[in-house]
Structures are given as structure tokens and as C-alpha cells.
């Protein structure tokens, strides 16, 4: 088990602190989200993936973030209500966070250090410019990090990666391993 990963603490929506030990032995997909983004429909694919694999030790950890062109406005409760009503999400949603810049939460510092940016193409370059992200920082909403059952960050998916062809396929490989 990767003690360094599991010792990281995050804030639940209610403000209570939880460490990632709660998820030991599970496959995790950690994603920064926004309710008013062109990629917001990713919630549909995420929920379908969660429904398919949650009984096989799979969890999605949703971290709303308003740093990319203010596309996650509202309170944590408002964001949760939007996701629950519009996309029927049932996976854990955490407190709104900052994932770029000097107030970046520890979890994202760790994720980026273990799964550097590997995207390419005009859209990704444009998103980097829009966000002001540096080096391995997340460039936009709905970047996903895949963590295996041992707590190792094993993959990173940019928001432009196909949810079915790439993300779902990889998650299925890891869950069924």
C-alpha cells in the first residue's frame, strides 16, 4: 500500500476532514469538475462507469473547481444539487477546491507529481493558455487521475480524452485485474 497517497487528507462537502485511507484497496478515478463547462456532460459517462464498477471496488472522487473561467459557480450544496438532479450522480463529491496556483490542495500536488501532463494538440495548448496552468498542472475541468488498489497513480486523462475508448477501457482493465 502506498502510505504517502493514503495519508493525504481532503475536505468533504460538509467541511469534515477525511484521509484517503478510507479508500484503501479500491480503484479510484479522481476528477476535477465544473457545472458550467463544455465538458460537464462527462458526468453522464462518469455515472455510467460508477454504476458499472462500484460493486467491484471502484470509486469516483469528484472535486469541484472554479478556477477555469468561473465554470463552477455556486456553493458546494448548489453544485451537489445540480449534479444530483441533472446527471443523477451518486459518487462522492468533495468540497470545492483550488487545483492550480499557490493554494493548490495537497492531493493535486501529489497527483501531478506522479502522473505528469502528457496531452497534446491544439485544444490542450489552448486550454493551457486559457487556464494559466504551468508544467504538469491540470489544464482544465474534467482532468482525471486513475489510482490502483495499492494507492499508485497509474494514469492521467485530459478532458479531451474519449470517455469510452480511453477512460472506460483503462478503468475496466484496472478494476478487473
Report d(CA 150, CA 146) in Å as an integer: 11
Quick: pLDDT tens for 100-133: 889 999 999 999 999 987 766 555 666 656 655 6
Cβ atoms of 31 and 62 within 8 Å: the answer is yes
Domain count, the chain: 1
| Domain harbouring 10, CATH code | 3.40.30.10
Could you give the residue numbers annotated as active site?
A: 37
Domain range for 112: 3-175
| pTM for this prediction | 0.92
Percent helix, percent strand, percent coil in the chain, to nearest 5: 40, 20, 45
Percent of all residues in the chain with a pLDDT value above 70, rounded to a whole number: 90
- pLDDT-based confidence at residue 138 (cuts at 50, 70, 90): confident
Query: Between vectors from CA 67 to CA 82 and to CA 134, what angle results, nearest 5°?
Result: 140
Query: CA-based angle 108:111:116, to the nearest 5?
Result: 115
DSSP symbols for 129-171: HHHT--TTS--STT-EEEE-TTS-EEEEE-TTS-IIIIIIHHH
Amino acid at each position: 500500500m502506498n502510505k504517502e497517497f493514503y495519508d493525504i487528507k481532503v475536505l468533504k462537502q460538509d467541511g469534515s476532514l477525511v484521509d484517503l485511507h478510507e479508500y484503501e484497496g479500491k480503484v479510484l478515478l479522481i476528477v476535477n469538475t465544473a457545472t458550467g463547462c463544455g465538458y460537464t456532460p462527462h458526468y453522464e459517462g462518469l455515472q455510467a462507469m460508477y454504476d458499472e464498477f462500484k460493486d467491484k471496488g471502484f470509486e469516483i472522487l469528484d472535486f469541484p473547481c472554479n478556477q477555469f473561467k468561473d465554470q463552477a459557480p455556486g456553493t458546494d450544496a448548489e453544485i451537489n444539487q445540480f449534479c444530483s438532479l441533472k446527471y443523477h450522480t451518486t459518487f462522492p463529491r468533495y468540497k470545492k477546491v483550488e487545483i492550480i496556483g499557490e493554494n493548490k490542495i495537497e492531493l493535486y500536488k501529489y497527483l501531478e507529481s506522479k502522473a505528469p501532463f502528457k496531452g497534446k494538440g491544439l485544444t490542450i495548448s489552448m486550454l493551457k493558455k486559457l487556464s494559466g496552468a504551468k508544467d504538469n498542472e491540470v489544464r482544465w475541468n474534467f482532468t482525471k487521475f486513475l489510482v490502483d488498489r495499492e494507492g499508485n497513480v497509474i494514469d492521467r486523462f485530459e478532458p479531451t480524452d474519449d470517455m469510452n475508448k480511453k477512460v472506460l477501457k483503462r478503468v475496466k482493465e484496472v478494476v478487473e485485474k
